[in-house]
Amino acid sequence: MLPLEGIKVLDLSRLAPGPYCTMLLADFGADVVLVEEAGSGAGRRAAVAGREDEPARARRAAAFNALGRGKRSIRLNLKDERSRDIFYHLCRDADVVVEGFRPGVVKRLGVDYETVAKINPGIVYCSLSGYGQTGPYAKLVGHDINYISIAGLLGVTGWPGQPPAIPVNVGADFAGGGLFSAFAISVALLARGKTGRGQYIDMAMSDGVLSLLTSTVAMMVQSGRVLGAGDFLINGAAPFYNVFQAKDGGWFSLGAIEPWFYENLCRAMGREDFIDHQYNHEKYPEIFAHFREKFRERTRQEWFEYLSQWDICAAPVLRLDETMDDPHNRARDMRVELEHPDAGKVMQVGIAPKLSGTPGNVRGFAPVPGEHTDEVLRSLGYEAAAIGQLRADGAIA
Residue 328 designated active-site: no
Other Cβ atoms within 10 Å of 22 Cβ, number: 29
Cα 329 to Cα 306: distance, rounded to the nearest angstrom: 20
Q: In whole angstroms, how far apart are CA 325 and each of 196, 248, 336, 346, 386?
A: 46, 19, 11, 14, 50
Cα 397 to Cα 388: distance, rounded to the nearest angstrom: 10
Cβ pair 35, 76 in contact under 8 A? yes
What is the DSSP code (8-state) at residue 352?
A: S
Query: Phi then psi for 100, rounded to 5 degrees?
Result: -130, 30
What are the contacts of 316-323 at 24+ separation with CB within 8 A?
Answer: 316/250, 316/251, 316/252, 316/253, 317/243, 317/250, 317/251, 317/252, 317/253
Question: Which residue, among 128, 14, 27, has the nearest Cα to 349 in the 3D structure?
Answer: 27
Question: Which residue, among 287, 286, 298, 283, has the nearest Cα to 245 in the 3D structure?
Answer: 298
Cβ pair 62, 24 in contact under 8 A? no
Residue 231 designated active-site: no
The residue from 143, 277, 290, 340 that is catalytic is 143
The residue from 31, 112, 144, 173 that is catalytic is 173
Cα 390 to Cα 202: distance, rounded to the nearest angstrom: 33
DSSP 259-325: HHHHHHHHHHTT-GGGGGGTT-GGGHHHHHHHHHHHHTTS-HHHHHHHHTTTT--EEE---HHHHHH
Across the chain, the runs of DSSP E, i.e. the strands, are 8-11, 31-37, 72-76, 96-99, 124-129, 199-204, 241-245, 251-255, 314-316, 335-340, 344-349
Question: At 198, which amino acid appears?
Answer: G
Cα 292 to Cα 259: distance, rounded to the nearest angstrom: 21
What residues act catalytically? 143, 173
